A and B are shown apart, each in its own frame.
Chain A
């Protein structure tokens, strides 16, 4: 039975790329169609890509430069309107910074006023920032941790061979100097960590010194030596423990502060090592988190494992 014309038209519309149409599409004639996964990523209009590579590329580059120039012009003209840096009557010299400077020591208790601001006045933001670190490390592990998709047997053998080679020809000078320097560096890192509420420094600075020390260790003595005291288990325990400790302290402070309850953590005498309430433990927690993250970045990029 012959189909009416309108029905045929409707059918063609519905069947869009149907091979039953008079002009069959390539993927039906081709016994092995291009698989979606391996296909090169198609982005933007295919029209543009087919219209000749180099001329189009040049045009895109020119357009990009034009956009950047316009943006730069916009920024430069705006800067002219902004107040001069350091003037006494600038907008940021207002009741906010005045209270931070004048009452910070009394209200929060750390002689390092910057620490007061980042860890207590704006503590929620800083907790967010340390979660960014945690998230960054997790994303790197997700991408780079050796698994069957991103590492072949050959890669693994090559890594083991280069490890063995390193083990044989260890750099003697680096090893000896590191042995001497290591305790000093660790001590300095810990000092910056624990003294963060009294002098410039704190968790982020001290943590990166500790992380740097771990990286130096790995270079001087090999990954296996570091793994003997810093393996997956230790890494996870330190990382999670530090963040949980931080979360508990900050949650307590927020909850108590927001509900007008008395804060039971003593502030101590300003200037002494055990003072400033939650700031000292938070600095230690942040420092451990930063050290772990730095070392994890380094080893996962290099070896795909801790």
Chain B
């Protein structure tokens, strides 16, 4: 007899899907919002329960979706890592929707707000399924759901810029899913399986046959590249800055904090459960991811330095932060994967915090998005200013904050004995340069927003009223909670990293 908590991953997926479907009948945006927030809260509790159970017992379990186990039917598989990430996703989406609520009401027509929340519900469902799946094809199906929902939340703010951004995002995304599907179908042709537990021995057997290394390299490369396009790894990131920079605040926060990560988790599962990290490394795919990750860390930061539009600057910084994740994955060691997962969690809280805080600052500055007009905005919306400061300093890598731990863990993983010399030097150099660049563009903005202007003025000389903008309770709660998590991740780093390392060993 199965433990009851083992049903929770399945409940979460269907809870999110059903609340999306039922929201169609709710025409009122406010009620739809309540349904979505309640769903996210429930899912956070359920996923959190799975996380507690699996991490306390140090186990993971497979859950057959029906009476037929692998290799015949669909399966889910949950362990500490998957359930932790799902809990993080729920909380981040919850905070993003809370913090971006006011912008959302203004940016999206009232009669279409319920549709926006349907997209959010299905996005949550797809993230749960991508994290928990034990089946390559289920992964593909929910990648499709994720793509459509993610494009729709960019499109929801119906203006020329977002439509263009959506078209670019959609095309790049579809290229990514197509390439991934090619990889999966080739894998099926040479192994005859779609479920990870059956694929693992089949792939291991294929590795003994030297003549099949080439197709294995091509298909694993295709799956990795497909997922890399969707998670905006350099040089496939071109869609990201416009999409994340022009969407409504909540969408930007969810897209960069959560959506990019869903694909990376699937990639980690493929790396660990279909192949082994060493196999990926020996095929050369690991090195490609490593080099692209290092390039992304520097390239994204360079473009962020040049950017004068607040949200696009943060979006470029996402390109760099995704690079950190791929740098860790490219090392192809458990320590590297642990560092990547830590970065996923750290970035999942930090980036939405920055987007939400920037949204608040922009609102307090008469909706001006140029950095220049944000000067002194922190005094007009103190919560947003504090949030931006915490998030920005974490990105720079100040100790006691989450971003520092990422750099530290990544550096430690690169210093391990089995890592080749060139990778170690590249990784350390990339971390050093990227940290410098991060400081270069975040610190001036932090100083600017706290600079007290005697009479803050907009582009047409209008004076902003100091007390006109009340950010509201839910905005303050969201920013405060995310800031606290960023600080906690930085302070309680050791137990948390150990927890992830134990989970990675179980993958």
Contact = CB atoms under 8 A, between A and B. Distances in A.
Interface of A: 13-19, 27, 31-33, 36-39, 41-45, 74-75, 77-78, 81-83, 90-97, 99-100, 107, 120-125, 127-129, 131-132, 134-136, 138-139, 141-143, 145, 147-150, 236, 239-240, 243-244, 247, 251, 253-260, 263
Given A44-B238, A145-B112, A150-B158, A253 B66 contact: yes
Nearest to A139: B152
Contacts of A129: 141
Interface string B3-39: 0000100100010011011101100000000000000
A266 to B, nearest CB: 15
Contacts of A41: 161, 164-165, 242, 246
Contacts of A75: 182, 218
B230 interface: no
B327 interface: no
Interface stretch (B91-99, B142-150, B263-271): B142-150
Given A78-B219, A83-B190, A91-B189, A14 B444 contact: yes
B112 A142 contact: yes
B81 interface: no
B451 to A, nearest CB: 8
B119 A138 contact: yes
18 contacts: A17-B372, A27-B459, A81-B215, A83-B190, A96-B192, A107-B68, A121-B66, A121-B68, A124-B138, A127-B17, A128-B129, A128-B144, A131-B145, A132-B144, A134-B21, A138-B115, A240-B25, A259-B2
A38 B160 CA distance: 7
A247 B190 contact: no
For A13, A14, A32, which residue has the most chain B Cβ atoms within 10 angstroms? A14
| Chain A contact residues: helix, strand, loop or mixed | helix
Contact of A19 (B109, B303, B372): B372
A302 B116 CA distance: 23
Contacts of A136: 148
A55 B145 CA distance: 39
Given A17-B308, A78-B215, A131-B21, 16 more contacts: A16-B371, A16-B372, A33-B459, A37-B159, A43-B238, A82-B190, A91-B191, A127-B17, A128-B141, A128-B142, A132-B148, A138-B115, A139-B152, A145-B112, A243-B21, A247-B14
Contacts of A17: 308, 370-372
Given A100-B72, A121-B68, A16 B444 contact: yes
Nearest to B241: A43
| Chain B contact residues: helix, strand, loop or mixed | helix
Contact of B218 (A74, A96, A100): A74
A209 to B, nearest CB: 24
Contacts of A97: 192
Contacts of B406: none
Interface of B: 1-2, 7, 10, 14, 17-18, 20-22, 24-25, 63-68, 71-74, 109, 111-112, 115-116, 118-119, 122, 125, 129, 135, 137-138, 141-142, 144-145, 148-149, 151-152, 155-156, 158-161, 164-165, 168, 182, 186, 188-193, 198, 202, 211-212, 214-215, 218-219, 238, 241-242, 246, 303, 308-309, 369-372, 375, 443-444, 447-448, 451, 459-460
A120 B68 CA distance: 9
A161 to B, nearest CB: 25
Nearest to B14: A251
Contacts of B191: 91
A82 B186 contact: yes
A128 B186 contact: no
A254 B66 contact: yes
A145 B448 CA distance: 42
Contacts of B308: 16-17
A141 B115 contact: yes
Nearest to B191: A91
A125 B63 contact: no
Contacts of B370: 17, 27, 36
Contacts of A44: 238
Contacts of A13: 444
A83 B156 contact: no
A78 B152 contact: no
Given A121-B66, A260-B2, A135 B148 contact: yes
A149 B165 contact: no
